[in-house]
Chains A and B, each alone.
Chain A
Amino acid sequence: MVTSVDYTGRAVDQLIFQGVVAVGDQLVATGWGEAGEMCTGVQKVAQTWTSLFLTDLGSIPHDLPRGSSFLPAIRMGRIQVDEDVEAEFNLAADRVSRTMDQDAADVGTLPDDERLDEAILVDFRIDQAASKLYLIVNVRTIAGDARTIFLPVPVSFR
């Protein structure tokens, strides 16, 4: 297993999670950032996973297999009870995982801490009053690094 801790000379991606801090609670939102911040390692994997997970499957012109079925499932009302959340999450996460595996295979030289090992739904909560679904997802790289992602998603319930 390769473990990367020194990020010097590593390939970087643009950071789209703004407000990330090393320790403590902090509101994190997606955005380009004022100066354009960069990231690498597990952070890159976490945002790649999030971006794919929240992209509607079939919504990218000429690249229809990219994305996941999670948000379309919510819009179509397929998530009503707890069991639905796990089923739809697993379906969507599996597609994202296969997409990232394929992309990594296309490159062939990604370090282990930039390759997805698994994304696990750690916890979730349905707040019917607020019409919100709160997901807590743990994204782990092959190198063993992990990031926990909190995803509040608007949901409409019957």
Chain B
Amino acid sequence: MADELNFSDISSTAIEQAEDYLVQLLQEEYPSLDLTKSRVIRDQVIRPAAILRALDREELDKLRASFSPLTITEDPAAADDAMVDAVYANYHIERFDGTKATGVVAIIISSLTTTAVPEETVFTANGMTFVLTQPYVGVTAEESIVSSSERLIEERSDGSYVFTVPVVATAVGEQYRIERSTRFTAVPAVPNTIDLQATQDFEGGTDEETNAALTARVQAGIAPEIFSARAQVESLLRDQLPGLKAVSQVGLGDVEMLRDRHNLFLASTGGKADLYVQTADYPSEIKLTKECTYVGSNQWQFALLRDDAPGFYLVTAIVRAGTLAFEGSLEVIEEIRGLDLTLETDWIHDIADLLEGAYTRYQTTVVKFEDPLTPLATVVGAKADYDVYVLRQPDIKTLNDLTIDRLRRPHGGDYLIRAAVPALTTVSMLVQYRPGVAAPDVASIKTAVASRANSLGFTTGKLYMSQLADAVYTVIDPKSAIVTPLDMHAFIYPPDLTPLSWIELRNVDVLVIPDLPNRGVSQRTTCFSLAPSDVSVAVAPMPTKSI
């Protein structure tokens, strides 16, 4: 049932229009009536009727704006949410409610002391709040752990101590996906606290669909959810993953399609499609604890298997297991990517090499790194655990599973899910505000800029400075200024050489994804990814003279 309107929802203009209409109508029918303002008929009869008519008209307008996909598409903002849900339910499409982000906060304390964290503690980072789902106690000995409430306090290399608590966002939304090492504050304060940090990127956290977003999804969603033409395939993927950000389908006739040329003449034969997907606004890190093997000379080695972080981009950090709230990483000496094409069902994709299989769920890697603090007595072949942080788009395997499921995959086609080739972007800017007004909120600017860049998907292959400046103006005073040029910088990791080589873009006006289809890089395959933490914002008052 749609929300009912009340008098405050009706504008004075609407009431005046209704009143004028009724006056005109009555005057034409009964010319002898005195309908001057203040007369009894006008004030006691017509005006109340006009208010009710305006209310009814508002309801009718809302109904008209909401009762068909056509009218909803014309102006999604005017449509009533509940009615939109009802209309699209006829097409088996449901609004995505959004999810709350979850993560783990490291509480770094100055002494090895039993430390309570009450359930009502509120953690805040970048203006967003997170809460506990239960009270926790940091305890000093493993024997004290008798339930999920007790968390072991461990010593850090700098002489401080740390324990962790899981938290959940207070609201749904992608902006709550805090990145690793983001600092928090807590209220009430946790005793003896030195620092509070996110131990790894927060997971989950998706936006509730607006009418506009739902309408955009419906464009694809009304199509049958099957592997067929582009609209149907996108519908299928969005049905499986409602939060899917963007899809680009490369197939027969596209220069980026390499897998359908597996023949002597390298001629395209069709029957294959690469589905590049952007499953989140920007890639996030996943933390894996890997058993590593000592290979001598302070060097260790581990393998990332295809199920560890399907479709991963990069190994971003390696630290000793249990290390929390750190900066930097042990140095990676060598990395060799590979493919694991072991059958999962009765069939598997035709993938010839790493260029064709990079950023798919079949990708693997072997990483060798150096730990200078390896004990001298360590023998070759010894094992030790290390925490490995891997950058990836989530849900690549979830989508790829559709393509190999015998019941759902097409009879005559080979559809392969690939994470979008990443153009990992950074932006720096200076915002000047008028003296005498509050300084703009840096966190809001970062979020707005990142959101705009990440929303581009595969549309143009270009990131214009003007687009980012426009995003900034949605969150700052219009009389503030963005000092141009902005410094825009991106690294593209092409599938043919990842992670050993990259394409660097730098420009103050526009970043353009190069057209290198034989290397797997083009507008059809590559997306700009900009994390809020990679937006550097300086704010300063505008230099002015007093007047």
Contacts and interface: CB of A to CB of B under 8 A. Distances in A.
Interface of A: 9-16, 40, 44, 47-48, 51-52, 55, 60-63, 66, 99-100, 103-104, 106-107, 110, 114
Given A62-B51, A63-B47, A40 B34 contact: yes
B358 to A, nearest CB: 64
28 contacts: A10-B32, A12-B32, A12-B33, A12-B34, A13-B34, A13-B40, A13-B41, A14-B41, A14-B45, A16-B40, A16-B44, A44-B34, A51-B43, A51-B44, A60-B47, A61-B7, A61-B51, A62-B7, A62-B10, A62-B11, A62-B51, A63-B12, A63-B47, A100-B38, A103-B36, A103-B37, A104-B36, A106-B36
A94 B36 CA distance: 20
Contact of A62 (B15, B32, B41): B15
Given A61-B7, A61-B51, A11 B34 contact: yes
Nearest to A107: B36
A100 B32 CA distance: 20
Nearest to B51: A61
B261 interface: no
B37 A44 contact: no
Interface of B: 7, 10-12, 15-16, 32-41, 43-45, 47, 51
A110 B38 contact: no
B7 A48 contact: no
Contacts of B41: 13-14
A97 to B, nearest CB: 11
A100 B7 CA distance: 26
Contacts of B36: 11, 103-104, 106-107, 110
A44 B51 contact: no
Contacts of B7: 61-62
B38 A48 contact: yes
Nearest to B45: A14
A18 to B, nearest CB: 12
A47 B40 CA distance: 8
B47 A13 contact: no
A110 B11 CA distance: 30
Nearest to A49: B38
Contacts of A104: 36
B34 A52 contact: no
A14 B44 CA distance: 10
A51 B38 contact: yes
Given A13-B40, A40-B34, A66-B38, 5 more contacts: A11-B34, A60-B43, A62-B7, A62-B10, A62-B15
Contacts of A13: 33-34, 39-41
Contacts of B44: 14, 16, 51
Contacts of A44: 34, 39
B51 A106 contact: no
Contact of B40 (A14, A61, A100, A107): A14
Contacts of B37: 103, 106
A124 B252 CA distance: 96
Contacts of B32: 9-12
Chain A CB count within 10 A is highest, among B10, B16, B33, B36, for B36
